[in-house]
Amino acid sequence: MMKGKPTLHWRTEWNNGIPTFTVKFIYASHGQRQAIERAAVNEGFVREGDQWRPMERAKLPSLFDVVRAIGFDFIFEPEDPDAPFDLQRLKLSPETRERLESLSNFRLDELAGYCPVQAQGEFDGSYFYFRARGSYWRFEAGGNESGTKGAKWWYEEHWQNKTGFEAGYMSDENAIRCILKAVEIYRAEDRGRFEKGHPDYERTTLEGGSLGALSLRRASRRLGITGEEAIERMKAYGIEVPYSADLELKALNSGSATVLGLDEITGVWTELQDEDE
């Protein structure tokens, strides 16, 4: 009976931000298995049967290079795409984990990345997006994942740091604490200034354009003014005009009713119909 190509079946499980890999050999000779197990130890993994745990110095890419050089294929067991985000992926203090897991009407769908750190999910029936980069973090509520709807509420805060870049590298712990803080502010404050008819609606909308929570197109459309007028009113209020204002003006004056958004079917960024109010 002909054997198939030697293969490594790889499954990942998480416990408070620390992965454990379940590794199984398929069609591997005793010598091949020993060579890979030695490589795992050399690259910083602790083996307990088919459970491999990385130490701090572990180098997963280097181990994979060795495995491929020996002639192995990989089978990476995929996560269930319909399963909720595994909160055990996040390294959190017991207090923060308890606050996150007990938060009502809240669902985290993703938290990942550096420069920016980004998260998204849903709370109180609204989509939310979190972004941390440079020396600021921002939380937006009321838009949608594809980007065809703009935020209806936002909160931005300066992140204390020495170089001006640390926010883009914040830990899971700090990111979740920021998200929890924003949700608490959203639920506690009077959000009237984000609604048409409020005396501070114009200023609030223009501030959203300055921060990046709204594009210039959306800010001007919501206020019923031109892009040039929006910029002039930002200046009159003493609001910082975004560095991208000139490029946004050109796009706004093109008259296009589309935005660059994520097609949820294909997963590709493309021009989609703008659904903002």
Kindly tell me the sign of the dihedral angle through the C-alpha atoms of 99, 165, 251, 206.
Answer: positive
Q: Which pTM does this prediction carry?
A: 0.88
Q: What is the pLDDT of residue 1?
A: 43
Written as one string, the DSSP assignment of the chain is ------EEEEEEEEETTEEEEEEEEES--HHHHHHHHHHHHHTTEEEETTEEEE-TT--HHHHHHHHHHHT-EEEEPPP-TTSPP-GGGS---HHHHHHHHH-TTEEEEEEE-SSSEEEEEEETTEEEEEEEETTEEEEEES--TTSSS--SEEEEEE---SSS-GGGG--HHHHHHHHHHHHHHHHHS--GGGSTTSTTHHHHHHHHHHHTSS-HHHHHHHHT--HHHHHHHHHHHTPPPPTTHHHHHHHHHTT--EEEEE-TTT--EEEEE----
pLDDT at 219: 94
CA nearest 194: which of 263, 241, 141? 141
Q: Report the C-alpha gap between 126 and 119 in whole angstroms.
A: 14
> What pLDDT, on the 0 to 100 scale, is given for residue 255?
62
Q: What is the Cα–Cα distance from 5 to 7, expressed in whole angstroms?
A: 6
Give the whole-angstrom CA distance, residue 228 versus residue 230. 5
Spatial contact of 96 and 177, defined as CB atoms under 8 Å apart: yes
Q: Which two three-digit tokens encode residue 236?
A: 């009159």
With beta carbons less than 8 A apart as the criterion, state whether 207 and 239 touch: yes
Per-10-residue mean pLDDT of the chain, 277 residues long, equals 81 96 95 94 94 92 93 92 93 98 97 96 97 97 91 96 91 98 98 97 97 93 94 97 87 68 67 75
According to the model, what pLDDT value does residue 259 have? 67
**Under a CB-based contact definition with an 8 Å cutoff, are residues 118 and 131 in contact?**
yes
Backbone angles phi, psi at 92, to 5 degrees: -130, 155
Q: Taking the domains of the chain in order of start, what are their residue ranges?
A: 7-76, 90-188, 190-277
Contact (CB, 8 A) for 87 and 100: yes
